Chain A
């Protein structure tokens, strides 16, 4: 079955540590996205990538970093510079070019930093 996987579902870290969240897709999509969701809030775009080896900052990129070395993979690193890293992180992918660009979401990773 095609889809997006995120791992792990729950992640716990101590303050001051960097942590990397995994996102893999087998939908052959060019574009991938990372969103942050806080309790009772909407989605905020962290980073997005429309092609391999290229990515752009979203609305809240400070304290985060990404890489896009393979089409299937778009890992997100939450660095110690991120002031409030505890949140629910969602990865998504979509096609580019002509078309309606429906986004396909992974199940999310809930990160807790203490």
Chain B
């Protein structure tokens, strides 16, 4: 079956530091890959996505590249801000196998200190 493994947290960084959150996946078929962000007390919202190999998703300074050869979709940001403090979830959706259902990683909590 499908699975997503994320880097364990929590991650604590100083403002303006470089961020990497690792994500690897196992999937049958051709998954689309996502990063979602959850701010305290809220639901998840899509941060970025990539639908095929070598695609790069980007939004708000965050980037992730769909690497089929390493089955990875690592999240990066060059300079984090205090406002980036949140929980980040990696996820995949396999169009043909699950008709819309997504598989989520366990989430990585990021805290950015001023």
The digit string for B101-114, where 1 denotes a CB below 8 A from any CB of A, is 11011110100000
Evaluate contact between B100 and A105: CB separation under 8 angstroms: no
- Distance (Å) between the CB of A74 and the closest chain B CB? 13
Q: A101-B101, A103-B93 are in contact. List 7 more A-B contacts (CB 8 A).
A: A40-B109, A94-B100, A94-B102, A102-B32, A102-B46, A103-B44, A105-B43
Chain B residues with Cβ under 8 A from A106's Cβ? Answer: 43
**In whole angstroms, what is the CA distance A108 to B102 when docked?**
18
Between B34, B43, B106, the greatest number of chain A beta carbons within 10 A of the residue's beta carbon is seen for: B43
From 61 to 114 in chain A, residues with beta carbon under 8 angstroms from any chain B beta carbon are: 90, 92, 94-108, 110
Chain B residues with Cβ under 8 A from A94's Cβ? Answer: 93, 100, 102
Evaluate contact between B99 and A31: CB separation under 8 angstroms: yes
A residues with CB within 8 A of B: 4, 6, 30-31, 33, 40-43, 45, 48, 50, 90, 92, 94-108, 110
Evaluate contact between B100 and A107: CB separation under 8 angstroms: no
Chain B residues with Cβ under 8 A from A92's Cβ? Answer: 43-44
B17 at the interface (CB under 8 A from A): no
Assuming A106-B43, A108-B43, is B107 touching A42 (CB within 8 A)?
yes
Assuming A42-B89, A99-B95, A101-B32, is B43 touching A107 (CB within 8 A)?
yes
Chain B residues with Cβ under 8 A from A50's Cβ? Answer: 99-100
Closest B residue to A31 by CB, please name it. Answer: B100
On chain B, which size bracket covers the interface? 20 to 34
Between B45, B89, B100, B104, the greatest number of chain A beta carbons within 10 A of the residue's beta carbon is seen for: B100
Evaluate contact between A90 and B43: CB separation under 8 angstroms: yes
From 18 to 44 in chain B, residues with beta carbon under 8 angstroms from any chain A beta carbon are: 32, 34, 36, 41-44
Evaluate contact between B100 and A41: CB separation under 8 angstroms: no
Evaluate contact between A108 and B42: CB separation under 8 angstroms: yes
**In whole angstroms, what is the CA distance A34 to B93 when docked?**
16
Q: Of A96, A102, A108, which is within 8 A of B99 by CB?
A: A96
Chain A residues with Cβ under 8 A from B77's Cβ? Answer: none
**In whole angstroms, what is the CA distance A105 to B111 when docked?**
23
